[in-house]
Structure 1
Amino acid sequence: MNPIFEGIGVAMTTPFNNDEVDYDAFRRHIEFLIENDAQALIVNGTTGESPTLTGEEIRTLIKVGIDTAAGRVPVIAGTGTNSTRNSIELSKYAADAGADGVMLITPYYNKANQRGLIAHFTAIADAIDIPVILYNVPARTGMTIEPETVVELSSHPNIVALKDAVGDLNYTIKLMNMINQEEFSLYSGNDDNFADFIQIGGKGLISVVGNVIPGELQDVYTRMTKGDHNARHTFTSLMPLIEAVQVDVNPIPIKVLTSELGFGNYELRLPLLPAEEEMRTEIVETYEAFKEGSKV
């Protein structure tokens, strides 16, 4: 089975204007990402502030994303919740709307044991006929998908990939050695370990900083997979910007830059608050220095 995508998938921000979703800015951001070599768009994920969006907003974002991309790149809808029933309903909507796949986070707050995870993800995957990416981010959900659980779930014909935001390459390596890499793909969910992740066999990155530099990241991926040893040096040059968008809780820092590029106001929904002015200035200056350096 071919991967849904290879290289850089962008976990898109959700732009706001006076606390309303700015769909025009969202469309323009999609055009920017496609023009700059993003290989997939992930709508309604963590970076998109999914917990604060209404059901109507989520459905509209998914539909607008699919219609705007118009088949040029895959659109993957974040449809996982801590309710299996709600996740099935939203996943069915995404499939009917034309999404190329869904991404399912582990249940949070109520959590689950590993048997519960298998039942939860299997029920959702059984209900739709499009690919499923599992999303493992224990720092946010308070639990992890154990490698043995991933292996069992990977036998489902619709469950084709994992977004690995564990942040521990020992977990990744163990999983790499257990799965059928011809049938199941691993994507990093951490910008800062991207190069190492690809070197050990990952198929790409679902990126935060990719909201503003998708092409630079895709260049690193392409060159690394072709054996260009200088690509790691290029990745090192991206680290100041990657670190700049990690100085506070995601997506607080990255929305400084998406707003700077004109994709919505610098607004977040409570309980997230905008960065202080000094931090915002430092993030913008880091981005401008990076862009200036990339011209040299």
Structure 2
Amino acid sequence: MDSRLIFEGVGVAITTPFSNDEIDLDAFSDHIEYLIKNNAQAIIVNGTTGESPTLSMKEAKLLIEAAVTTVAGRVPVIAGTGTNATQSTVEMSKFAEATGADAIMLITPYYNKTNQKGLYQHFIKVADSTSLPVVLYNVPSRTAMTIEAETVYALSKHPNIIALKDATGDLEYTKQLLELTGNENFNLYSGNDDNMHQFCSIGGKGLISVVGNVIPGELQDIYESIKEHKMDSEAKFQQLTPLIEAAQMDVNPMPIKAMTSALGFGLNEFRLPLVPLEGAELEHALRTLRNYKEGIKI
């Protein structure tokens, strides 16, 4: 494996379970065990799916510590340490390194935003502050900020900046990045479950997944089928479409947490302003998961 490749295949952006507005560390650890047992290739903590904007810095650090302890070196732990402030991002990144995380993931600054020059300097300053590999995270639908392809290419020259989680949903952007970087010393992971097959077929090294919280093994099998050029890989992926669509029916992580709670990994509880699914939407999410697990065609 390329020394600049943290993982290949399916990493899971894990949910954060709450009980009475406190983090449920037992449920969190149980979920990690399930993910590793079912062939997740990496655990991503404090991402969008983990409700990171609602966590205090103390809580975010607690989750990194718990993940590193529970995983115990079996798969890489990638800690989401990015904020919209460079100073706090550096602090969190240094903590992740000291705690034993294998890599960090950095969201683009949000709300205050910046320009491409500011983005470049922000990411370089953070990357200079740690020896950990850095995964950039581009999700303009949430941050109103995108990392232009030329900026990604410039950042990829830094020895620590080794990957991008591409949640743009724009395969033309992905192709441009692949052409610029050569996909040799810089790795692209999709951040969109629904484009996994196309993304990995054109050269992506995997997926940082939401629906992987409940079906990591199935996704990893599909990734391996894509890499082996098996003819049935797309048909297998299409079988997951109902579950992927159910996980996207409302704001992430509202649908997927309904599913993880149904599997026993914490309560279906959120930090406001997120709220649980209710009524027909909740029933649809749970029925779709149940039918998939029971092998019932939807």
- TM superposition score normalised by structure 2: 0.98
Structure 1 Cα separation of the partners of residues 109 and 4 of structure 2: 27
SS in structure 2 of the partner of residue 102 of structure 1: strand
Deviations 1:14-73 (A, max 9, x none): 001111100000000000000000000000000000011111111010000001000000
Q: Trace 1:27-176 onto structure 2 (pairs within 5 A).
A: 27-176=29-178
SS in structure 1 of the partner of residue 36 of structure 2: helix
Deviating 4+ runs (over 2 angstroms): none
Structure 2 Cα separation of the partners of residues 294 and 111 of structure 1: 46
Structure 2 Cα separation of the partners of residues 73 and 87 of structure 1: 24
Letter in 2 for 1:66: V
SS in structure 2 of the partner of residue 222 of structure 1: helix
| Structure 1, unaligned runs of 5 or more | none
Letter in 2 for 1:149: T
Structure 2 Cα separation of the partners of residues 2 and 149 of structure 1: 19
Q: CA deviation at 1:223?
A: 1.1
Give the aligned partner of residue 18 of structure 2.
Answer: 16
Q: CA deviation at 1:229?
A: 1.4
Give the aligned partner of residue 258 of structure 1.
Answer: 260
Structure 2 Cα separation of the partners of residues 222 and 2 of structure 1: 20
On the 8 A contact 2:4/2:162 being kept in 1, the answer is no
SS in structure 2 of the partner of residue 293 of structure 1: coil
Note if 1:217 corresponds to 2:219.
Answer: yes
SS in structure 2 of the partner of residue 13 of structure 1: coil
- Structure 1, 272-281 or 143-152: larger mean CA deviation: 272-281
SS in structure 2 of the partner of residue 8 of structure 1: strand
Identity across the alignment (%): 61
Note if 1:208 corresponds to 2:248.
Answer: no
Structure 1 Cα separation of the partners of residues 222 and 112 of structure 2: 39
Deviations 1:128-171 (A, max 9, x none): 00100000000000010000000000000000000000011011
Give the aligned partner of residue 190 of structure 1.
Answer: 192
SS in structure 2 of the partner of residue 9 of structure 1: strand
SS in structure 1 of the partner of residue 295 of structure 2: helix
Q: CA deviation at 1:293?
A: 1.5
Letter in 1 for 2:165: K
Structure 1 Cα separation of the partners of residues 273 and 119 of structure 2: 28
Q: CA deviation at 1:294?
A: 7.2
Report how many aligned residue pairs link the two structures. Answer: 295
Structure 1 Cα separation of the partners of residues 84 and 222 of structure 2: 35
Give the aligned partner of residue 247 of structure 1.
Answer: 249
Give the aligned partner of residue 7 of structure 1.
Answer: 9
| Structure 2, unaligned runs of 5 or more | none
